[in-house]
Amino acid sequence: MDKTVLTGKSSSQGKKFGGSAGAASKEQGMAAALAEMTKRSPHFLQIEEDIKKYEKSIKEMQAALNKFNTKDMDELFKFHKHVESKLELLSDENQVIDRFEGFPRKKLEAVRMAGSINNKLNGIITELRDWKFESPLDEHLQRVESYITRTKKGVEALEKSKKEDGEMLEKQNIKFDFNIFLKVREAFVDFSSRCMEFAIKERRDLKVVSSIQTPAKVARQTPMLWKVFQLIQKVYIFAGGLNERAEKLIQELAQEIEFDPFALK
């Protein structure tokens, strides 16, 4: 048997395995160095400090999340606010709560999602209720229309996924009150009523002034009234109907347009 050949093979294999071992050793050394540098980084030290400082608070929140179940939206709002007030103190939320075994991440996600939907829809209701119409309405109407169009799309997007969201929330013992969508629609109808009242009043006030000056100013308002009428139609379709007050006002609005000699000209 050729010893040279054997020696050659042995030498080749030695180089091969030696190189592999060397690469593995370098990788291990690099990983160790990175781990050591990470441990010494200000970010890591802050995480460690947060774990010690907020350990009791986080464990209490963990227990509260596990027990939390509700169908009361006010209770949900308060609990969500309480949870966020604790978590916002952490320098790195994910890194800190990862160190607490069994932390109910899915429950936290559910509370946040339910809280977000509830806050958004209640926020829309508040905005619609507190909206201040400005005179001359013609110059203000574009902003009104843009707001309604944008907000309506947002509500429809949330409503589209409500079945899926509701099922996910129920798995986490949160029974979301989706009747809030009905309240949003009612707020839209009330908003449209106030818009019509403002437009009709502005028109009638101008009629009194223009009777002394010129009817042309009244005539220039008719296209604005028509825009309001079209806007109310959009609200009607979205809301699925109007209440008695809105129906009465839309009749008055239609009369203001119809009996104008310059109407739609």
CA–CA distance, 213 with 29 (Å, rounded to integer)? 91
Q: With bands split at pLDDT 50, 70 and 90, how would you rate the model's confidence at 19?
A: low
Predicted model pTM:
0.78
Q: Mark whether 156 and 254 lie in a shared domain.
A: yes
What pLDDT, on a 0 to 100 scale, did the predictor assign at position 43?
Answer: 84
Per-residue pLDDT tens over the stretch 206-233: 777 655 555 555 556 788 899 999 999 9
- pLDDT higher than 80, residue 23: no
Mean pLDDT for the stretch of residues 56-81: 96
7 lies in a domain? Answer: no
Q: What is the DSSP letter of 70?
A: B
What pLDDT, on a 0 to 100 scale, did the predictor assign at position 164?
Answer: 95
Euclidean distance between the first and the last CA atom of the chain, given in angstroms as a whole number? 112
Q: Mark whether 97 and 128 lie in a shared domain.
A: no
Q: Are 79 and 111 in contact (CB under 8 A)?
A: yes
Q: Of 22-26, 125-129, 164-168, where does mean pLDDT reach its minimum? A: 22-26
Output b/e per residue, 124-140; b: 16+ Cβ within 10 A.
bbeebeeeebeeebbeb
Q: Which residues contact 224 (CB under 8 A, 6 or more apart)?
A: 137, 138, 141, 199
Q: Are 58 and 96 in contact (CB under 8 A)?
A: yes
CA–CA distance, 91 with 46 (Å, rounded to integer)? 7
Q: Mark whether 123 and 192 lie in a shared domain.
A: yes
- pLDDT higher than 90, residue 41: no
Q: What is the DSSP letter of 72?
A: -
- pLDDT higher than 60, residue 265: no
**Between these two residues, 130 and 6, which has the higher pLDDT value?**
130
Q: Please identify, among 53, 75, 103, the residue that sits at the C-terminal boundary of a domain.
A: 103
